[in-house]
C-alpha cells in the first residue's frame, strides 16, 4: 500500500531542501508509470538503469532530457535507444561502454551525448557488504586510485560525439551520516581538479549519488533532507575552496528515502506455531501469505523490519514472534524478531512498514507465487496502480502450457 501524499511530500522535501541541486529519483527502488508521473509532477529528474525502466519512464511521459541512465553492462541496443530518445545523461561504467558509445556516435549529427563517469572513491561505507558500492573490489565504476578514472575522462574528451558532464560517485545504501560522503567528495573533487589541470577541461557537473538511510525500526535515526543538504553543501564548498575550483552543478539520487517510508505491506496470517528455544525460551512463528517472493531483503541483506497487528486491537500479553513466509526456504523470513499479541491467529492482518524500496522491485515468482498488487491511497480513496498477477500471467511465457494452441 503506497501513500501518495506521503510520497509526494518526501519528493518535494528533497526538491526544496536541495534547491541548488538536480534531484534524480532512483527508479530502481520502485517504479511504475504512476510513480514516474508523480516524480515528474514534483519537479524531480528520474534515474533508470535498464531498457524496461526507460520504457516505463517514457510511457509515463517523463521528459527524456530529465532522465539519467545507469548500469554496469549497458548493451549496444540499450545505449542506441538511450541516444535515440534523447536521454539527458548516460553514466559510463567501463572502457567497453565508452567504445560502444564511440561507435554509436561516430558520424552522428546533432548534439553530443551527455555522459558522466562513475568513479569508485575507495570509501568503506558503514552498511551491508552487498549495498556498499564505493570500495575498490566490486563491479561498479572506474577506480580513482588506479588511474582508470582519469584515463576514462581522457578517452571521453577525445570523442567528439560525447560531452563530458562530470563525475559520478555512489558510496552505498542505507547510510545515516555524511562522513562517507565527505571522504568521497574530497577524492572525487581532487580528480575533478586533476582533469582540469591535466586535460584542460573543467567539468560542469558532479553527482554525489544517493543511499540516504530510512527508519526500518526504532533503532534507525535518519537525517532530514534539509540537514543533508546543508551538510553536503558545506562539504563541497569547503573542498572546492581548498582546491581552487568552481563549484560544479551538483546532483543526488534518493530513491529509498522517498518511497521507502511511503509504503507498507499487509499480510494475512495463515499458520501460528510456537517453537522452543535453547534455555527454555519460546518463539512464536507467524506464517503469512507472502515472504521472500515479495521481500527478499531480509534474506539478501540481513535487513531488519518491524511489524504490527493491523486488523484489530488486542489486550493480550506480548510474545516474541518471527514473521515468516510460505516459501520452501528456512531463510524465508520477513521480520526476524518482534513482539506481537499472544492471541494472534489465522486470518489476522499484519502490517510491515517501510517496504516501499526494493521489495516490489526485487519481487519474484519463486515457488510460482503470484506477485501482489500495489495500491495507492490518498484522501481515503484506494487505487490499484500495479494489479495483482494472475495464473494467466504466470503461464503466459510458459511455452509448454500452450501446446496445442494455434500459433
Q: By CB neighbour count within 10 A (0-12 exposed, 13-18 middle, 19+ buried), where does 119 fall?
A: buried
How far is 50 from 79, CA to CA, in rounded Å? Answer: 10
How far is 183 from 196, CA to CA, in rounded Å? Answer: 20
Q: Which of 45, 49, 264, 328 is catalytic?
A: 328
How far is 294 from 355, CA to CA, in rounded Å? Answer: 10
CA distances for 229 relative to 41, 176, 234, 332, 389, angstroms: 22, 13, 8, 38, 40
User: What is the DSSP track for 318-354?
Assistant: EEEEEEE-SSS-TT-EEEEEEEEETT--TT-EEEEES
Residue 169 near residue 232 (C-beta atoms within 8 A): no
23 beta partners: 252
User: What is the DSSP track for 64-98?
Assistant: GGGEEE--SS--HHHHHHHHHHT-SEEEE--HHHH
How many CB atoms lie under 10 A from the CB of residue 156? Answer: 23
How many CB atoms lie under 10 A from the CB of residue 184? Answer: 26
Q: Is 328 a catalytic residue?
A: yes
Active-site positions read 328
Amino acid at each position: 500500500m503506497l501513500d501518495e501524499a506521503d510520497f509526494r511530500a518526501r519528493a518535494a522535501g528533497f526538491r526544496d531542501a536541495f534547491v541548488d541541486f538536480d534531484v534524480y529519483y532512483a527508479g530502481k527502488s520502485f517504479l511504475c508509470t504512476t510513480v514516474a508521473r508523480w516524480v515528474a509532477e514534483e519537479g524531480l529528474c528520474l534515474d533508470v538503469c535498464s531498457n524496461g525502466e526507460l520504457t516505463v519512464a517514457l510511457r509515463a511521459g517523463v521528459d527524456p532530457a530529465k532522465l539519467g541512465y545507469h548500469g554496469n553492462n549497458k548493451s549496444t541496443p540499450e545505449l542506441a535507444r538511450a541516444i535515440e530518445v534523447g536521454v539527458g545523461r548516460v553514466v559510463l561504467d567501463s572502457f567497453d561502454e565508452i567504445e560502444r558509445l564511440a561507435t554509436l556516435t561516430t558520424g552522428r549529427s546533432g548534439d553530443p551525448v551527455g555522459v558522466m563517469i562513475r568513479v569508485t572513491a575507495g570509501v568503506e561505507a558503514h552498511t551491508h557488504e552487498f549495498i556498499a558500492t564505493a570500495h575498490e573490489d566490486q563491479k561498479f565504476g572506474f577506480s580513482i586510485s588506479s588511474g582508470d578514472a582519469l584515463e576514462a575522462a581522457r578517452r571521453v574528451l577525445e570523442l567528439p560525439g560525447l560531452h563530458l558532464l562530470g563525475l559520478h560517485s555512489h558510496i552505498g545504501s542505507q547510510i545515516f551520516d555524511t562522513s562517507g560522503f565527505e571522504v568521497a567528495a574530497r577524492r572525487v573533487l581532487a580528480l575533478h581538479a586533476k582533469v582540469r589541470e591535466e586535460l584542460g577541461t573543467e567539468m560542469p557537473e558532479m553527482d554525489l549519488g544517493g543511499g540516504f538511510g530510512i527508519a526500518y525500526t526504532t533503532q534507525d535515526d535518519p537525517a532530514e533532507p534539509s540537514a543533508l543538504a546543508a551538510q553536503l553543501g558545506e562539504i563541497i564548498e569547503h573542498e572546492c575552496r581548498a582546491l581552487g575550483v568552481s563549484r560544479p552543478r551538483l546532483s543526488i539520487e534518493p530513491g529509498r528515502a522517498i518511497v521507502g517510508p511511503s509504503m507498507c505491506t499487509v499480510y494475512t496470517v495463515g499458520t501460528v506455531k510456537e517453537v522452543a528455544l535453547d534455555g527454555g525460551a519460546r518463539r512464536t512463528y507467524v506464517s503469512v501469505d507472502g515472504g521472500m517472493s515479495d521481500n527478499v531483503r531480509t534474506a539478501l541483506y540481513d535487513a531488519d523490519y518491524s511489524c504490527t497487528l493491523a486488523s484489530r486491537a488486542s489486550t493480550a500479553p506480548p510474545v516474541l514472534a518471527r514473521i515468516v513466509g510460505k516459501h520452501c526456504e528456512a531463510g524465508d523470513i520477513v521480520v526476524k524478531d518482534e513482539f506481537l499479541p499472544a492471541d494472534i491467529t489465522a486470518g489476522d492482518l499484519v502490517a510491515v512498514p517501510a517496504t516501499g524500496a526494493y521489495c516490489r522491485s526485487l519481487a519474484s515468482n519463486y515457488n510460482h507465487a503470484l506477485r501482489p498488487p500495489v495500491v495507492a491511497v490518498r484522501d481515503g480513496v484506494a487505487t490499484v496502480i500495479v494489479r495483482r498477477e494472475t495464473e494467466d500471467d504466470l503461464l503466459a511465457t510458459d511455452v509448454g502450457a500452450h501446446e496445442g494452441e494455434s500459433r
